[in-house]
Homo-oligomer: A and B are copies of this chain.
Amino acid sequence: MRFTSEQRLDDGVLEREFTLGEIPGILWTPASAPSPAPLILMGHPGGLHMMYPRLVARARHAAAEGFAAATIELPGSGDRPRVPATEQARADLRRALEAGEPVDDEIVDRLVLPLVDKAVPEWRVTLDALLALPEIGGPVGYSGGVIAIGVRLAVVEPRILAAGLFAGSFVPRAMFEEARQVTIPLHVLLQWDDEGNDRQMALDLFDAFGSKEKTLEANMGGHTGVPRFAGEAANKFFTRHLK
């Protein structure tokens, strides 16, 4: 892990960009926190530059509660080399949604399964590197989308003790079996009228999770309309489970 830039934000949060091999990422650490700090891995749909305003807002809220936060670019997104098969699947999904057609399971499989297979090991080596820093100690949570990545991480990565998932993207049917294997506490956000998601699939996925403690919070509005109070509730969830 190599830090490539460092700046102090106006609320005292330290923001450092890094690369880990070919993967770019950002680490935010709170101005004042127990050291080592608990950590929240922040998922997103890909495109660090485009997502930066929302990511830094989430990181600041997390830092205000004493959490470090980190994110990495997804394979095939942002400045990373495009993956032609993923691009094709993404275009097929967009076409189906714009035409108002039901989204074929086969498109979802082509789009999401290879992404999960690549991204999850990258998150895990990132976690190795982050936990090797003296200022980061865990426990660790995963927060946000891509929800299928969060599901796989929750199953395979024992260092992740709680996950706040955003049910805002399609999940391959094959991964419902993995969802049943999830046992960590979950806080699942759903936008009730998400234009790029299937509400019934999200409800079925919530039902499938094996966790004894799981909460579904559904709010009105589209994909990007998550209300501010929902972020606060998610922070409360992590405070309950990671501190």
Contact = CB atoms under 8 A, between A and B. Distances in A.
B215 A218 contact: yes
A220 B214 contact: yes
B213 A216 contact: no
A83 interface: no
Interface in A129-179: none
A215 B217 contact: yes
Interface residues of A, number: 22
Specify which of A212, A213, A230 lies most central, judged by the most chain B CB atoms within 10 Å of its CB: A213
A123 interface: no
Q: How many copies does the complex hold?
A: 2
Given A203-B203, A212-B220, A217-B215, A240 B229 contact: yes
A166 to B, nearest CB: 15
A87 interface: no
B217 A216 contact: yes
Interface in A194-228: 203, 206-207, 211-220, 227
B220 A218 contact: no
A229 to B, nearest CB: 7
6 contacts: A192-B214, A212-B220, A213-B220, A215-B220, A217-B217, A218-B218
A94 interface: no
Interface string A3-23: 000000000000000000000
Contacts of A216: 192, 216-219
